[in-house]
Each structure stands twice: as C-alpha cells, then as structure tokens.
Amino acid sequence: MGVRGKWFYDLFKSVGAGGSKEWFIHKQISSASKNIKIEWLKAFFDDEAHVSKTKKRIVLNIVNKKGLIQIQKLLDDLNIESRIHGPYKYKQYKSYHLKIYGNSIRRYFSRIGFNEPNKQKDLSELVTLI
C-alpha cells in the first residue's frame, strides 16, 4: 500500500523524504538542538549503518553524496570525525562510504549509539577493541 494523497507525499518530500539519491536533511534538523540531531542520526544509522569489528569502523554505504555530506556535517557538530570515500560502483549507481574510525567511534558510542540491539552490541564490542 502506498501513499494515496498527493498532499501527503508533498508534505514528506518538503521535509527531506525522497528516493535513495534525492533525500536531504531539512534545515529544521540541521539547525535543531543537539538532542534532535542525535536522535535523527541514531535513527538513520540504525537503518543504514554497518559496524565492522574486523576493520574497526562504522560505515554508511549511500548513493546520495549530498545527503552523506549533510550527515558528515551533523557528525562534525557533535565533534565526531568521519571521512567520505568513493565513488564506488554499486549496481548501476555510484556509491559513497562515510566511515568513522578510532576515537571518533568512542565519541559516537557515548554521544549517539544505536537503538537497534544487535548494532549496539557490535558497537559496544568494537569500543573495547580500540
């Protein structure tokens, strides 16, 4: 079942929702309080991030470079350093990776974390490895 009302679709689109290559972080989030930014990032990372204990990093693999740059800015606002790598070939798209390493993983853990239990467990284990 999809969204039937165009007004409803337009409302979501106006605040940043969109396809994989079109979404953005609305200025109401990017200029919001620290707590709002944390909750937005936590929700996004719960859905999209991967915790690699073997490579000791947190990774987002996203086809939307502009959106990834906006995420990097939110992380910067919380003093969490990250790097964007790519492009990489992903199916017929270009994909980009945002990676969090080292002490920034500890800051991510203490300031944001995950709601998703398996990712939070992996992150807790990763923090003990670095």
**pLDDT on residue 12:** 44
Q: Which two tokens mark 35?
A: 């707590």
The domain made up of 30-129 has a fold known as Endonuclease I-creI (3.10.28)
**pLDDT on residue 93:** 83
| 51-103: pLDDT as tens digits | 999 999 999 999 999 999 999 999 999 999 999 999 999 788 899 999 999 99
Q: What is the pTM of this model?
A: 0.84
**pLDDT on residue 55:** 97
Work out the pLDDT band at 15, boundaries 50, 70, 90: very low
**pLDDT on residue 10:** 46
